[in-house]
Structure formats: structure tokens, C-alpha cells
């Protein structure tokens, strides 16, 4: 008899947990069925989101080929550095799924833009990878269909980091990239990561990506609805500046998210979002520093560790004198954005 089944029987019969187990099985079965039939069981405060069309589908214009064949670019993933020699290698598989997801979150763009000097040749290569990825998605190639690529959190980061690239470089976005960003935003709005009985930072990042979209494309409908939702959930998710992740690394990462969106909101002069962030940003910063000894430059780890931005990188956000070995700095990232 299967060991897992034996333990299940012991749990139910010997510990008299039959009712709790039935509830658990019912809950898991319900979620499974809903996933099969794509039933969106949003709570009341989010249900109306599914009833509205926030993004008008655009008609594609002339799509030019911006992709460069020779990339030869070193990028930072979750667990290692990765050398991409050609655009096709952006769809390579990895032993660690966190590296695969990191690749398709495009967080590596932020690292490359955090160097002391912007290398124009590198920027051309980044745009080539963006364009190749979007072209593959537009063509419906099998390499784009991996479920991990389309997890809401990964979509959120991809939207944010691609848009940030064009903001930072002050470049016109190609039509193909705009079309794919539209599609990603629509998919994200229809797959928000909420929790009915607990809290999660992913929903905040979903809102952050959608608001990035609203700011860049001046979508007032998106900005109005999701600014209100962000404000409401920030109030639920934070307590006196601490987040309900109960993690020092996620505290620091979360502060970065709010700091980042605040900078972009100021660039686009969105007073409503700036007003919201004024209520939270200072206390989030203060509580992020709670885990950091500025004299010894030591950051104390508590709780979960994020596979995204490293603490050493994020510490440059709360301590201007903090230096990490690779010289990357949040201060460099936002130079020229105003």
C-alpha cells in the first residue's frame, strides 16, 4: 500500500480528523475544477474587474525586424549569471525553474541598467532580445507556451521591466512590443493573484504592473480603477510599515516596488498615485532599515528569501554608502528619469 495513503488513513482514523480532511479535499477539488473550466472566483471587491474592458486592442502597424543575431550578453538570473549568444537562447531550459522564470521576468534588464555607465551596444542587444521574445509570442511558437512564462507574477515583472527599459532609454516602443504588452496586460487583469483568507505580495506586484501600463499608455480607466485597488490592498497588507510577508528580504523588495512605482508616477505626474504612496513609503523605508545595521553594513535575514533582486543590490536603496562587489546601484537605475 502507498505510504502516503497509509499516513492519510492514520491521520483520519487515528487522529479523528475526518471532517477536516473532507473539507481539505473538497477545497482542492473545487480549485482543480475551476482551473479546468477557467472559472475566475474573484472576491466581491475584484469581480467587477472581469466585467470591464480596460484595454482597447490596437490594430498592428508595420512590424520591422529589430532583432540582432549576435547577442553575446551576460545577464543575471536567480541563481547564476547566464551568457546569451543568440536571441533563440532566451528560450533555453534550466535545471532550476527559478532561473527560467527569472529569464522571462526580464529583471536582468534592471541590473544591466544599474551599471555606472550605459553601454549603448548592450542596450541594442537588450532591445533585440525584447523584440525577439515579442515576435516569438506574436507568432505563437511552441517555445513561448511554457506555463511558467505565463504565471501572473512573471507576466507582471515582464511588463514592468520591458516598459522601464523604454522609459529609461527614452525610446519609441516598436509596434510589435506594444501589441504584446497589450496582450500581457489583458491576461494579467484576468488572472490577478488574490487570496481570500491570507495575504500575498504578488497581488501588489500585479497592480504595480497594470499601473505601469496605465501610466505609460495614459489609460485613465486603468489608472482610476487600479489606483483605488492598490490603496485598499496596501492598507490591508501593511501594518505600521511592516508587510505581512513576515520576511526581511521581502520587506526590502516590497519597499523597492513602491519606491519604483512612485518614481514612475512622478515622471508621469500622476498626483493620485503620489498621494497614495505618501501614506506608505516613509514607514516602509523605516521598517526596511529595521533589519539593517548601517554601521556594520549587516542585513539580518528573517523569513523567506526572494529569488528576484538580491538584498545586496536592494541595500543600495536604503544606504547610499553601501557598495556591493559588482558596483550595481539603484541610484544608477533612476538617473535621468524625471
CATH of 40-333, one of 1.10.600, 2.30.30, 1.10.10, 1.50.10: 1.50.10
Taking the CB of residue 142, how many other CB atoms lie within 10 A of it? 8
Q: Is 147 or 66 the better-scoring residue by pLDDT?
A: 147
Quote the pLDDT of residue 302.
Answer: 84
Note the pTM of the prediction, 2 decimals: 0.86
Residue range(s) occupied by CATH 1.50.10 in the chain: 40-333
Query: What CA–CA distance (Å, rounded) separates 246 from 264?
Result: 27
Strand pairing category for 242-243 and 238-239: antiparallel
Question: How many Cα atoms are found within 13 Å in the side-chain-facing hemisphere of 278?
Answer: 7
**Average of pLDDT values for 36-62?**
70
Residue 305: predicted pLDDT: 87
Give phi and psi for 222, each to the nearest 5. -60, -45
What are the pLDDT digits (tens) for 265-312? 999 999 999 999 999 999 999 999 999 888 898 989 888 888 899 999
Mean pLDDT for 46-75 is 75
13-27, 87-101, 119-133, 193-207, range with the lowest pLDDT: 13-27
**Residues 95, 96, 98: CA angle, nearest 5 degrees:** 150
Over residues 252-274, the pLDDT tens digits come to 999 999 999 999 999 999 999 99
pLDDT tens-digit map of 11-35: 555 555 566 666 656 655 665 665 5
Distance CA 163, CA 134 (A): 13
User: Is the pLDDT confidence value at 223 over 80?
Assistant: yes
Amino acid at each position: 500500500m502507498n505510504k502516503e495513503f497509509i499516513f492519510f488513513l492514520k491521520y483520519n482514523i487515528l487522529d479523528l480528523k475526518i471532517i477536516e480532511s473532507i473539507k481539505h479535499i473538497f477545497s482542492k477539488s473545487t480549485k482543480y475544477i475551476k482551473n479546468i473550466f477557467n472559472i475566475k472566483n474573484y472576491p466581491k471587491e475584484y469581480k467587477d474587474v472581469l466585467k470591464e474592458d480596460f484595454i482597447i486592442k490596437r490594430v498592428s502597424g508595420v512590424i520591422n525586424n529589430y532583432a540582432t543575431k549576435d547577442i553575446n550578453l551576460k545577464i543575471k538570473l536567480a541563481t547564476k549569471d547566464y551568457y546569451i549568444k543568440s536571441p533563440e537562447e532566451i528560450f533555453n531550459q534550466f535545471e532550476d525553474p527559478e532561473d527560467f522564470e527569472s529569464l522571462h521576468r526580464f529583471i536582468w534588464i534592471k541590473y544591466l541598467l544599474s551599471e555606472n555607465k550605459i553601454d549603448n551596444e548592450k542596450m541594442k542587444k537588450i532591445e533585440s532580445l525584447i523584440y525577439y521574445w515579442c515576435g516569438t509570442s506574436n507568432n505563437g511558437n511552441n517555445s513561448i507556451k511554457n506555463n511558467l512564462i505565463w504565471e501572473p507574477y512573471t507576466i507582471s515583472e515582464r511588463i514592468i521591466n520591458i516598459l522601464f527599459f523604454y522609459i529609461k532609454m527614452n525610446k519609441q516602443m516598436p509596434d510589435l512590443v506594444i501589441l504584446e504588452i497589450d496582450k500581457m496586460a489583458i491576461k494579467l487583469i484576468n488572472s490577478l493573484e488574490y487570496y481570500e483568507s491570507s495575504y500575498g505580495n504578488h497581488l501588489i506586484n500585479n497592480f504595480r504592473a497594470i499601473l505601469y501600463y496605465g501610466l505609460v499608455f495614459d489609460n485613465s480607466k486603468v489608472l482610476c480603477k487600479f489606483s483605488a485597488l492598490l490603496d485598499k490592498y496596501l492598507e490591508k497588507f501593511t501594518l505600521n510599515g511592516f508587510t505581512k510577508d513576515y520576511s526581511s528580504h521581502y520587506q526590502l523588495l516590497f519597499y523597492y516596488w513602491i519606491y519604483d512605482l512612485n518614481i514612475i508616477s512622478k515622471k508621469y505626474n500622476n498626483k493620485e498615485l503620489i498621494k497614495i504612496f505618501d501614506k506608505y513609503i516613509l514607514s516602509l523605508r523605516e521598517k526596511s532599515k529595521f533589519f539593517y545595521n548601517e554601521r556594520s553594513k549587516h542585513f539580518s535575514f528573517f523569513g523567506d528569501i526572494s529569488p528576484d533582486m538580491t538584498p545586496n543590490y536592494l541595500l543600495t536603496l536604503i544606504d547610499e554608502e553601501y557598495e556591493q562587489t559588482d558596483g550595481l546601484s539603484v541610484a544608477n537605475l533612476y538617473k535621468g528619469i524625471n
